[in-house]
Structure 1
Amino acid sequence: MSITKISIITLLFLGTSTVQAQKLKDGWVWRYINSIINDTTEADEATLTVYPTFASSPETGLEIGASILKLYYAKGDTLNRLSELQAFTFFTLKGQYGLVLENALYGDEDKWFFLGENKIQRFPLSYYGIGPNTSGDNPALVDAFQVMVKQRVLRKISNNLFFGPEVDYQLLSSVNIEQPEHGAPYPIPRGGDGTRNLGLGFGLVYDNRHNVLNVRKGLFGEIAYLRNFSSFLSDYSFGSVNMELRSFHPIGKKNVLAWQLKGQFTHGDVPFNQMALLGGDRLMRGYYLGRHRDRHFIGAQAEYRMLPLWFSKRLGAAVFASAGTVAPALNKFEARHMRYAGGIGLRYLLFPKKDIYLRFDLGFTNEGANLYIFNGEAF
């Protein structure tokens, strides 16, 4: 789930001379770096880590920022699940900047589960139009200020089963659509002049994972319905059904086979920024986020993770493959519009006692390849 970026502290080591390294060892800077790299905390001890970061993805290019990551077990009991609370601020060479807050918080004995993601950002993105067969040539550029708040407040109703309300608020303002220099201009889509929408609904979640950032064994499933009413803090009336299933299977002592199925199905007057999107750093890696968008999306992926490799205590690797497509109606899904992606990844164990890896993924599609650098697995 997490979008924390790889720490540049690791790179500082690579570029530091012997004399400079000795000076670092004599001060608090070295002690702090060592506490992060070598994870000197006890397994049941809460950690609060602040560090400069960088990342890379096709949507952002080079990204630089700072992150605050808090990890803890409720009441310090490792029999509870590992909770994650993260704040991240960033800016990119493409003129994007923002603040992101993510949370996956478990109460004692899983009585409550708070799962969400919040963003405030200026985030120009390429726009390829709407539909499953849009051209990859000459996209428009959509520059806008965005606020996105998605939160689930879930109550345990049975072992590993949670139910509760969900809220999804999205604001798109100060929109500027820069048409391509070559080719026909894109029609202004619904919501293209700015929009705000508040979705309210309920979700049912099954979750027996123990470590959200790196799941080695477990099952996560969700089905949720959200409804937006134009008469209540929304510009448009529409609804969405979100379905997801993730499964994780240990292979031997170190390896994991993981797979994911996901679907998003909308109805009503859906604005373009809340349509189902294909691509990104999680599902369909290799495709630009929103390379294809429409009312409905189905996708699947599988990944084999070697964490760590047999010859190392900290280096790991992964191979992955995915398939997905979008459609304007449920009866309009077509095999010829299916898109495929695959790739390989390198992993570095950042917090050994909490089993959290940095990931470097190279995703391939028939349109080219893209590099992703993030903290935590894609799913």
Structure 2
Amino acid sequence: MKKTLALLLAATCSLPTYAEDKEPTTYERYQAWLNQMLLELGADGQFNPEKGVDWSVMPGPFYTPEKQFGVGISAVGLYKPDLDDTVTQPSSVTLNGFGSINGAYGLSFSNTNYLAHDKYRLFIDAELMDSPDVFYGIGMDAGLNNGRVDYTRRTYAASVKGLLQVMSYTYVGLGVEFSKNEASKAEIDDPDKPWIGHTLAEFPDKQFSAGVTMSLVYDSRDFALNASQGHLLKLDYTHFSQALGSDHEFDRVALNYSDYYSPQSFDGVIAWQALLEANFGDVSWDQMALLGGASALRGYEQGHYRDRNMLLSQVEYRQPLSGRHGMVYWVGAGTLSNQLDELGQEKWLTTVGVGYRFEIKERVNLRLDMGFGNGESGFYFAINEAF
């Protein structure tokens, strides 16, 4: 992390002007070389639609107890489907990949298209991962008290969603999603620790889920990847059906409200988000609502806490610094429940954190976040904001 920060900070300093009779120092040569390297990676802080897809690629190291040491690579490409449209925000494609010394690997793809002056929107996402994971059982009590199950999870997932504008900032849409999770090599980390809610024998080895989604969206954000003003209100209803091949039949309702405000009295953006997820029916263990990870309650390991219903809220201050640098500070809280009417009665998990931002494309940031939870912490390297 320190090395990555040092590289970014050094690269964005102004290059010195040398006197004709003075040779540049070793540090100045290194600074010039590093600046050139970042330019070749596309991290120029600009967006040129004439390039077609204007790419930036950023590598970075990471460490987690499960994956051990590894290297992640994030790439983002901005483009304009219609070069004559100077009003609609750029479309984007984001690629993330990682590999670690214990053989874990993962690839993800996310593509957002704003078409016909934003009358139509198309979202395509896919993921492939083979990596160590954790399972503590279902429910807040299980996450707080159970021993950890270590296992290897292989995931194949894909989704497609299309939206049609029906009023100003308002869209309706349909989508489909598929996922397959394979669990293997499951072992209880501490056999002497009590384990409630499930037994290891109930831990299934394969789950396939397939669903159809209906969406209603109000989106007045000025730039989805890094909004400085506007609101997002998104309601998704997904039916997972055995008729589509799903192993379990259940329904999911997800509500996302995000608000972005740029104060007049000081620089920066205040961003606030509230998420609600409710699952009804025969929900499999891998489709439960989750707390934790790089976006929802940073500081907790994704997979540690899961249940049918989830509620969380987070607020952060995005502070611009000189040049292309910035900082982010956040607080958040979330909880889970088995029954929807019991949501909020279980223990709440809290998080605080700080992050560094470096603008690799116009209004597109590389983010390095450090989150702290109740006895846990997490470090995140990614492109684009958490929400």
Both structures adopt the same fold (TM-score exceeding 0.5): yes
Q: Distance in 1 between matches of 2:138 and 2:183?
A: 21
Out of 100, 104, 114, the residue aligned to residue 96 of structure 1 is 104
Q: Distance in 2 between matches of 1:137 and 1:13?
A: 46
Out of 255, 259, 262, the residue aligned to residue 250 of structure 1 is 262
Out of 119, 134, 137, the residue aligned to residue 111 of structure 1 is 119
Give the C-alpha shift of residue 283 in structure 1.
Answer: 1.8
Structure 2 partner of 1:70: 77
Out of 286, 294, 304, the residue aligned to residue 291 of structure 1 is 304
Structure 2 partner of 1:34: 39
Contact 2:276 2:312 in 1 (8 A): yes
Q: Distance in 1 between matches of 2:124 and 2:222?
A: 17
SS at match of 1:284: coil
Give the C-alpha shift of residue 264 in structure 1.
Answer: 0.8
Q: Distance in 1 between matches of 2:279 and 2:205?
A: 21
SS at match of 1:273: helix
Q: Distance in 1 between matches of 2:60 and 2:170?
A: 36
Unaligned segments of structure 2, at least 5 residues? 13-23
Structure 1 partner of 2:55: 49
Cα deviation per residue 1:207-250 (whole Å; 9 max; x = unaligned)?
Answer: 12232221111111111111112243111111111111111011
Contact 1:82 1:212 in 2 (8 A): no
Contact 2:137 2:146 in 1 (8 A): no
In 2 relative to 1, CA 30–158 (structure 1 residues): closer, same or farther, beyond 3 Å?
A: same
Which letter does structure 2 place at the counterpart of 1:33?
L
SS at match of 2:157: strand
Q: Distance in 1 between matches of 2:308 and 2:201?
A: 13
Structure 2 partner of 1:339: 349
Structure 2 partner of 1:3: none
Give the C-alpha shift of residue 7 in structure 1.
Answer: 10
Cα deviation per residue 1:104-131 (whole Å; 9 max; x = unaligned)?
Answer: 2111311111124210111221111110
Q: Distance in 2 between matches of 1:69 and 1:218?
A: 23
Q: Distance in 1 between matches of 2:146 and 2:101?
A: 22
Matches within 5 A, 1:51-200: 51=57, 53-54=59-60, 56=62, 58=64, 60=67, 62-76=69-83, 77-93=85-101, 95-134=103-142, 135=144, 138-173=147-182, 175-183=184-192, 184=194, 187-188=199-200, 192-200=204-212
Structure 1 partner of 2:21: none
Moved more, 208-217 or 36-45: 36-45
Contact 2:368 2:379 in 1 (8 A): yes
Q: TM-score normalized by structure 2?
A: 0.84
Q: Distance in 2 between matches of 1:41 and 1:104?
A: 16
Q: Distance in 2 between matches of 1:189 and 1:223?
A: 36
Give the C-alpha shift of residue 346 in structure 1.
Answer: 1.8
What is the aligned-residue RMSD (CA, Å)? 3.0
SS at match of 1:75: coil
SS at match of 1:206: strand
Out of 323, 338, 344, the residue aligned to residue 328 of structure 1 is 338
Give the C-alpha shift of residue 332 in structure 1.
Answer: 2.2
Structure 1 partner of 2:375: 367
Cα deviation per residue 1:166-215 (whole Å; 9 max; x = unaligned)?
Answer: 21211013533222243356614867220111111211111122322211
Q: Distance in 2 between matches of 1:30 and 1:341?
A: 35
Cα deviation per residue 1:294-329 (whole Å; 9 max; x = unaligned)?
Answer: 0010111111111x22xx112211211111111011
Which letter does structure 2 place at the counterpart of 1:111?
K
Q: Distance in 1 between matches of 2:328 and 2:169?
A: 28
Give the C-alpha shift of residue 146 in structure 1.
Answer: 0.8
Unaligned segments of structure 1, at least 5 residues? 1-5
In 2 relative to 1, CA 32–80 (structure 1 residues): closer, same or farther, beyond 3 Å?
A: farther
Give the C-alpha shift of residue 69 in structure 1.
Answer: 2.5
Contact 2:92 2:111 in 1 (8 A): yes
Q: Which of the pair has more CA radius of gyration?
A: 2
**Aligned residues with identical type, % of pairs:** 25
Higher RCO by CA contacts (8 Å cutoff, separation 6 or greater)? 1
Give the C-alpha shift of residue 365 in structure 1.
Answer: 1.6
In 2 relative to 1, CA 350–266 (structure 1 residues): closer, same or farther, beyond 3 Å?
A: same
